[in-house]
């Protein structure tokens, strides 16, 4: 999952492990940072699965609905 949004993924060899020296060199050569690789967050303050309001704990947001099957996923 770490390589999914990476900007250098087209230039990496298959043997390069995420976080390895080869990975670091490719990231530096072809641009991008770890912050760029993060998937975009859901807009708004409601759960994308059930529509209930989200509970904010620090920088993480969780569904406040006890019956939501994705309650413990940071959205």
Distance CA 12, CA 25 (A): 10
3-state secondary structure of 10: coil
Whose CA is closest to 55, among 75, 36, 69? 75
Q: How many domains does the chain have?
A: 2
How far is Cα of residue 55 from the mean position of the Cα atoms in its chain? 19
Q: Which domain holds residue 31?
A: 1-40
| Residues 47 and 36 grouped into a single domain | no
| Residues 49 and 75 grouped into a single domain | yes
Torsion sign across C-alpha atoms 23, 24, 25, 30: positive
Q: Is the pTM of this model over 0.85?
A: no
Whose CA is closest to 69, among 52, 45, 55? 52
Per-residue pLDDT of the chain (75 residues; tens, 9 = 90+): 477 777 777 888 877 888 888 888 888 888 766 666 555 566 778 888 888 888 888 888 888 888 988 888 777
| Residues 33 and 54 grouped into a single domain | no
């Amino acid at each position: 999952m770490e390589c999914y949004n990476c900007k250098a993924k087209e230039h990496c060899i298959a043997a390069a492990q995420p976080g390895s020296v080869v990975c670091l060199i490719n990231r530096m050569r072809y641009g991008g940072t770890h912050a760029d690789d993060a998937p975009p967050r859901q807009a708004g303050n409601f759960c994308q699965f059930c529509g209930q309001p989200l509970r904010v704990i620090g920088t993480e947001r969780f569904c406040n609905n006890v019956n939501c099957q994705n309650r413990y996923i940071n959205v």
